[in-house]
């Protein structure tokens, strides 16, 4: 339609990149490739492995809570058995 401007979606990563370095954001918008691609790839691998470790620790934390609650239940059952015997 005449008079309408096209809308471009602004992603959160674009906002973060712009706030961190406006010039780097502009270069990326123009299609220029980064000169430190090896460092960026290494950072991506680090974040990926870190995310897996954090996820694993969250699973372990939940398992620890379940075991703790099970131990409390068993302790309560043992106390009740002793009390009623």
Tens of pLDDT, residues 39-59: 989 999 999 999 999 999 999
Q: Is the pLDDT of residue 4 over 80?
A: no
Q: What is the pLDDT of residue 7?
A: 80
**What value, to the nearest 5°, has the Cα angle with vertex 63 and ends 57 and 66?**
145
Q: Is the pLDDT of residue 74 over 60?
A: yes
Please state the separation of Cα 80 from the chain's center in Å.
44
Task: Name the pTM for this structure.
Answer: 0.51
**DSSP code of 63?**
H
Q: Average pLDDT for residues 1-15, to the nearest whole number?
A: 76
- State what percent of residues in the chain have pLDDT above 90: 59
């Amino acid at each position: 339609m005449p008079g309408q401007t096209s809308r471009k979606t602004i992603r959160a990563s674009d906002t973060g990149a712009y706030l961190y370095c406006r010039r780097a954001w502009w270069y990326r918008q123009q299609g220029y490739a980064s000169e430190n691609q090896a460092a960026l790839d290494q950072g991506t691998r680090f974040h990926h492995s870190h995310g897996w470790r954090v996820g694993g620790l969250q699973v372990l934390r939940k398992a620890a809570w379940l075991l703790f609650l099970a131990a409390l239940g068993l302790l309560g059952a043992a106390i009740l058995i002793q009390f009623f015997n």
